[in-house]
Amino acid sequence: MAEDTYSHKMVKTNHRRCRTKFTEEQLKILINTFNQKPYPGYATKQKLALEINTEESRIQIWFQNRRARHGFQKRPEAETLESSQSQGQDQPGVEFPSREARRCRTTYSASQLHTLIKAFMKNPYPGIDSREELAKEIGVPESRVQIWFQNRRSRLLLQRKREPVASLEQEEQGKIPEGLQGAEDTQNGTNFTSDSHFSEARTW
DNA sequence: GCGTAATCTAATCAACT
DNA sequence: AGTTGATTAGATTACGC
């Protein structure tokens, strides 16, 4: 409820989530797990989260960054010797542990979607505290809200690319955020001084 | 089967040391 | 300045209905 907790300095409000600082012990466990399976499923990540007392979403990010920056065995299989059968494809018998299950798909109710969409039209790039507030409001984890915004932006940008000028109708009735990185001609080579993406200075 | 949540890569921003 | 967590666009995968 909008308490007036704002202190003098503010608040850096809407922006990124605070940078997580993993302890050595946490890192040890993370790295150890990574070396065994660089693509952990939901269950594994959940277990890890519990074990090192961190949110599962932070673990997800950590694995993404780790994969991007450090080499890793792409083949979890590839042990010392592959089962002498080279071509044994027709053997459903033991399915190799190809992939662990992902997180269960969340289904949003109509009212939840309404809330999300409304927020999206106001600001398609919500900061951490906006996301948390939203999450609390509709009763889902903040990480789900973040993913929802990602997917929503993606869809909208894709749609706009396909139909250059078609969202006018929607703009009439609703709002459709216009600051969604409109692929403008920002490509003037030698410019961009300290200009961060786009002005985020919009009502908040 | 479709719509879209979840996962992923690549690039980038940015906090911390 | 290098390391690394966080965010983004965008492509892909795979569930729930």
Measuring from the CA of residue A57 to each C1' atom, give the nucleotide at the shortest distance: C6
Tell me, what's the pLDDT at A189? 38
Within 7 A of a protein CB, which nucleotides of strand C? 4-12, 14-17
pLDDT in tens, A18-56: 999 999 999 999 999 999 999 999 999 999 999 999 999
Which domains are present in chain A? Answer: 24-71 (1.10.10.60), 110-161 (1.10.10.60)
Residue A162 approaches strand C within 7 Å at CB:
no
Measuring from the CA of residue A62 to each C1' atom, give the nucleotide at the shortest distance: C5
CA distances A30 to A10, A17, A34, A114, Å, are: 34, 21, 6, 38
Stretch (H or E) spanning A71:
none
Q: Extract the tokens encoding A120.
A: 């999206």
Within 7 A of a protein CB, which nucleotides of strand B? 3-16
pLDDT in tens, A118-170: 999 999 999 999 999 999 999 999 999 999 999 999 999 988 877 766 555 55
Long-range contacts of A117-123 (CB under 8 A, 24+ apart): A120/A149, A120/A152, A120/A177, A121/A174, A121/A175, A121/A176, A121/A177, A122/A175, A122/A177, A122/A203, A123/A177, A123/A202, A123/A203, A123/A204
Residue A9 approaches strand B within 7 Å at CB:
no
